[in-house]
Structure 1
């Protein structure tokens, strides 16, 4: 078990009546226990806490009038990832996939897997099926894309990234998800906090469903997967954005962090050596 302190500070300049949906809270799962948690807003505005979507992402919903809105979120997370040897982790045949997993094979807004089938088969069709094939996808993305902050925007999809060969963490995850789905491997997007991520930020990674379990992957190789603290889960980033804004508001300040309180429990080595799962 590793104990991790996570948090974020967000400030918005709000110029007209605006509704916010914040998805910044660490998820509560069998592998992720929240021992302490606080949310503070300035001005002190009433908000609603609820769970949305099929994965029950916890969100904070509020509406504010013109002001400088400040959000402070803090949590202490006891993380208990399950670590497996990568050998023997095979793919699950379509006929054996549970019904609730099937939607993660479908194309989605940012992951046009139906348009990438030919490319995926040509590049990875002969790779060893299972954990090794998903790793090969991550290896290729890491080796063929340039990570560049600000290089993509809210409309950038997996196909765009494949053509441009540049992106940020969510783009790396979207392309990996699309290629996995094109090979009939269920995959989904995860937003979260990441220990040892530089520069610190919200991070986008993904999970692939193999041998009846979801396993974590990060094609950016910027942080160790055993130090990921899950926030939101979805088909792609549209389901797990840290902030959805309806109105007129500009982000003027953001700070995000994830720090382990026992430094020796999680290595800072981003190269994935084991299969890591934090959900069933």
Structure 2
């Protein structure tokens, strides 16, 4: 990842051997006078697990939302799963390319777990079918299998509002299992969990990415989890790229510089 609009630096990724799933050339985003993300280049390949690190307001969520197609970049070009992102309409193409878990999980609290899981298929359905929720027995079986794999099959018909925070996390992951995107995005997926539960959720997410042969990009703050679960880490501060390094090079001194701790009283 670099701040130039020229050819991508492929020191981390050999694109001749591994499929590039994310290619960004000079992508940037501003909200009025605020530069949320300075123009940068990014390349992420199948099999990679990339962490986004940095202080609050550093541009991590903005980058994730641009990659998810929720907000358009103001500058540059973005390709997802070898397709130009601007041509991926909300629906099958975008749903097959990317799946996002937001901090709020985006679950419908009054609906049972199974319907929240089946929402992972909505982007692949036509409008009429989505509106009337015509779930086939096969699709319901797939949702049950996903919830069973995650250990909450007994919650299939429970409203998600009655589930614990960890169970709701599993419902969101089961939804991704049905969606089967090539690129998994997660915005602070473990911020509200204790270390043991956070480790478990990250293992589930990275395992899902491995199952689909895709890539995972997630924002989080815990350096020990970054080193254990991710292959690369991208550091951002005030919307500007600070580094793009192997996760094992995320040392205390690198973190101090990223969070500007030396300047703090």
Same fold (TM over 0.5): no
If asked which structure has higher relative contact order (CA below 8 Å, sep 6+), I would say 1
Structure number having the greater strand percentage = 1
TM-score by length of 2: 0.29
TM-score by length of 1: 0.28
Structure number having the greater helix percentage = 2
